[in-house]
Each structure stands twice: as structure tokens, then as C-alpha cells.
Amino acid sequence: MAESNVKVLGTWASPFVMRVKIALHLKSVRYEDVEEDLLAPKSELLLKSNPVYKKIPVFFHAHNPICESLIILQYIDEVWTTSASSILPSDPYERSQSRFWAAYVDDKFFPALRRLLIGATEEDKKAALAEVVGGTVVLEGAFGELSKGKAFFGGDNIGFVDIALGSLLGWIEVIGKQCETKLVSEAKTPRLVQWADCFSAHEAVKDVLPDVDKLADFGLKLRAKILKALALTN
């Protein structure tokens, strides 16, 4: 049974919502799942609880809304302080590096991945594909530095960067199939391939990551909605 004062407002297909759920699973925190339909107008609850960005996820704890997925992860780690499942490292330098690479995922890698999904022209998609592939190589190098030879970016356990990047794995597979390119491959990123397998099989993750075929169908609908909205503004 969910804790009455812990809720997650979001949608099953959002990688940013998945981050919050994975963190809660790592901490063994039960929660209420409140579904927001991304293909419909934004709900009153979303607009009221996140009036600035008007985006999911919104995390509710003791009726207080917390927004932005990476901020929510840090909040969860600070509130439920179980050392065995710490999301951020205790060492200040290592913690700063985790935050740096999670920010890279959000500020550089994800925008390129999104452009690859919704690119209006072949030229747009080609440029986005080059950026995504280059980003996976950069992340391969980061994994070597952060993991210290262990299974995860966080070492022996799933950490901040694992959750930030791992939440995108379903979309990486879907978008890769659409452009007929394996975005994470043995040829260019063998360590990321092994990491992705370990991450996806983890007890805190395997029930959160969505079915790829269902996600692909949703992606087509979402792309159509975004392109329609862009056409109306141009």
C-alpha cells in the first residue's frame, strides 16, 4: 500500500517520471501513481502544482510539490537516508561529478535525442543523429571514469547518473529503430551496452521501464502532436 503522503504526478512514458519511480523503488518507498495524459490538455493539478514550467514530473511529499526530476532525486536521497541505497556519493568531488554528468544528459544528450525523434527534415535528423552518437561515445568515457571498473556509474550500486541516463534507455531503443541505427552498440560503446543490461535487469528498474512496442506507438502519437503544435506557431 502506498504512503498516503507520497505521490508522483506523471505519465508512464516519460523518462523523467521514470527517474522518480526508480529512486523510490531503490529506497523502498511506496507511493501513489497519478497519471497525467500527455496527449490531452494539461490537468488542473499539474498547472497548479508546477505553475512555472507546467511539466511533469511533480513529486508530492506531505502535500508539498517538488518539481524537476534531478531536483526530486536529490530530495528523495536526502529525505530517505538509507546508506545502502544512496543515490549521490558522499564524497563532495564525486558528488559534483555525478551532478555534472546528469546535467550533461539533460542539457546536451536528451535534446539531441528529442530532435532525432521529431526532426521535420532529413537534414535535421542527420545532424541530431551525429550528435546523439557522439554523445554516447562521450558517456562511454564518463562511465569508465565514474564506475571505477564496477557495474554502474555509481560503482557497485545504481546512482545519480545511472538513473538520469538509464531512464532514457527505452526511448534510445525506440528512436534507434526508427532511424535504423543502433545508438548504443558493441562496436562504439561496449561498456554502455553491458551497463544498460545490468541497469535494465535491476530489481528497482525492471518494472518501471516501459514496453518498447507500446512506447514506440506512443512516440508516433507524441511526434504528431508536437509537429502539429510547431506548425501552428510558424
Model pLDDT for residues 32-67, shown as the tens digit of each residue: 999 999 889 999 999 999 999 999 999 999 999 999
Q: Angle 203-102-200 (CA atoms, 0-180°, nearest 5)?
A: 20
* pLDDT (0 to 100) of residue 4: 60
- With a pLDDT cut of 70, the percent of the chain lying above it is 95
pTM (two decimals)? 0.94
State the architecture of 6-85 in CATH terms: 3-Layer(aba) Sandwich (3.40)
Give the model confidence (pLDDT) of 80-96 as tens digits: 997 668 999 999 999 99
* pLDDT (0 to 100) of residue 232: 62
H/E run at residue 125 = helix 122-147
Give the model confidence (pLDDT) of 19-35 as tens digits: 999 999 999 999 999 99
* Identity of the residue numbered 190: P
Instruction: Categorize the per-residue pLDDT at 230 as very low, low, confident or very high, splitting at 50, 70 and 90.
Output: low
Q: What is the mean pLDDT of the chain?
A: 93
* pLDDT (0 to 100) of residue 3: 58
* Identity of the residue numbered 3: E
User: Are the beta carbons of 85 and 154 closer than 8 angstroms?
Assistant: no
Instruction: Categorize the per-residue pLDDT at 224 as very low, low, confident or very high, splitting at 50, 70 and 90.
Output: confident
List, in order, residues 6 or more apart from 72 with CB less than 8 Å away. Answer: 19, 20, 23, 57, 59, 66
Please check the confidence at residue 234 and state whether its pLDDT lies above 60. no
Please check the confidence at residue 138 and state whether its pLDDT lies above 80. yes
SS3 for 127-175, per residue? HHHHHHHHHHHHHHHHHHHHHCCCCECCECCCCHHHHHHHCCHHHHHHH
Report the candidate in 95, 128, 92, 134 with the shortest Cα–Cα distance to residue 113. 128
User: Are the beta carbons of 157 and 85 closer than 8 angstroms?
Assistant: yes
User: Are the beta carbons of 188 and 126 closer than 8 angstroms?
Assistant: no
- Assign a CATH topology to domain 92-212: Glutathione S-transferase Yfyf (Class Pi); Chain A, domain 2 (1.20.1050)
Please check the confidence at residue 1 and state whether its pLDDT lies above 50. no
Specify the 3-state DSSP secondary structure of 24: helix
* pLDDT (0 to 100) of residue 83: 60
Residue with cell 549521490: 88
Q: How far apart are CA 108 and CA 135, in angstroms?
A: 8
Hey, where are the domains in the chain? Answer: 6-85, 92-212
Give the model confidence (pLDDT) of 142-184 as tens digits: 999 999 999 999 999 999 999 999 999 999 999 999 889 999 9
